Amino acid sequence: MKKLLLAFALSLVPFINVSAQPSFETNSSARSQISLISPESKVNYTRLQNLLEKQEWREANDETYNLLLRASNRERQGWITIEDIKKLPCWDLATLDRLWTTYSNGHFGFTPQLRVFVSTGNRPGRLVAIEPYEAFGDQVGWRKNDDWIRFKENLNYSLDAPVGHLPSPRQEYQISGGRLDYVTLAQRIVECNVVSLPSLPTSPKPGNQLPKNLPR
């Protein structure tokens, strides 16, 4: 009788192991989602990751601007002020950069963008002469025929675009290319130590934990 009970119990072991596996996969998926929710703004970056993974650059660019609106609590207004840019959460900016650079193999993102910005003579947080900013716009492809591209549908949503072309966080209709907005954004990115620019001083905010690894 004991042998019969033991044999019956052993026969249930494979069934128990198989039924436990979906629970592990669900937990893993949940951890991936949680890791893309900002601890500062509570904004979820999972949809952006999915769009970038599929190389849907147009939709990802639109989603990036929407995420910036949510992170600055300006979704209802639909536009962001200079003061809002100065307070953008570091975690959120770092996540945006890391997602874009990861899924474009370094072609897009704030990292290549700011390096072009600095290499053309611009400085984060400082309005220098207009010519360096125009040179920046020319090099990243935000200007065409000596004029700023004012409508986002006219951007190049492919890997044939210049390095740093996307994301384009500029608001539409800005005839000067949103120079003050972008210079302020560049300063905030540097303050958060999102992009390493050895030639410029950085002042990372204490207590801001930037995401190091993103789920693939």
Using one digit for the tens of pLDDT, what is the confidence trace for 138-190?
999 999 999 999 899 999 999 999 999 999 988 776 777 889 999 999 999 99
74, burial (CB in 10 Å: exposed 0-12, middle 13-18, buried 19+)? middle
What's the whole-number mean pLDDT along residues 47-64?
A: 97
The yes-or-no verdict on residue 21 having pLDDT over 80 is no
pLDDT at 17 over 60: no
Choose among 188, 187, 181, 214: nearest CA to 98: 214
Kindly state the helix (H) or strand (E) to which residue 65 belongs, with its residue range: helix 57-71
Whether the predicted pLDDT of 28 surpasses 50: no
Give the mean pLDDT of 189-203.
75
